[in-house]
Amino acid sequence: MVVYVIAMGLLYLAFRFEWPSFGVIVYWVSSVFLTHVLYRDVVAFHPMYNTLGNMVMQKLLTLFLWPIRVPIVLFQVAFNDAL
């Protein structure tokens, strides 16, 4: 979660001070890092649904839409752990 907040802060600074190339670099580095960490350490897929198609689709969605997907996935994992 800390990495997510830092990445969002860096994106805000990049576009606030009009550094679009820095913003693009931060966006892609953050997305690759968060996708790797999130799906390696946080999310465990059921063996029946752990197919190549499912994994690729989830990782691509998170890679491109990480500002939206990461909080959703973290909320779902926290909700599941609480119950």
d(CA 43, CA 25): 26
Per-residue pLDDT reduced to its tens digit, 28-75: 988 888 888 877 767 777 777 778 888 888 888 888 888 888 888 888
pLDDT at res. 56? 85
Percent helix, strand, coil in the chain, to 5, is 80, 0, 20
Record the pTM.
Answer: 0.69
Can you give the pLDDT at residue 45?
72
Contact yes or no for 74/1 (Cβ under 8 A): yes
- Please tell me what DSSP assigns to residue 65: S
- Per-residue pLDDT, 37: 80
Query: If pLDDT is split at 50, 70 and 90, which confidence band does 5 have?
Result: confident
Q: What pLDDT is recorded for position 17?
A: 87
- What is the number of structural domains in the chain? 1
Q: What range defines the domain where residue 32 resides?
A: 2-82
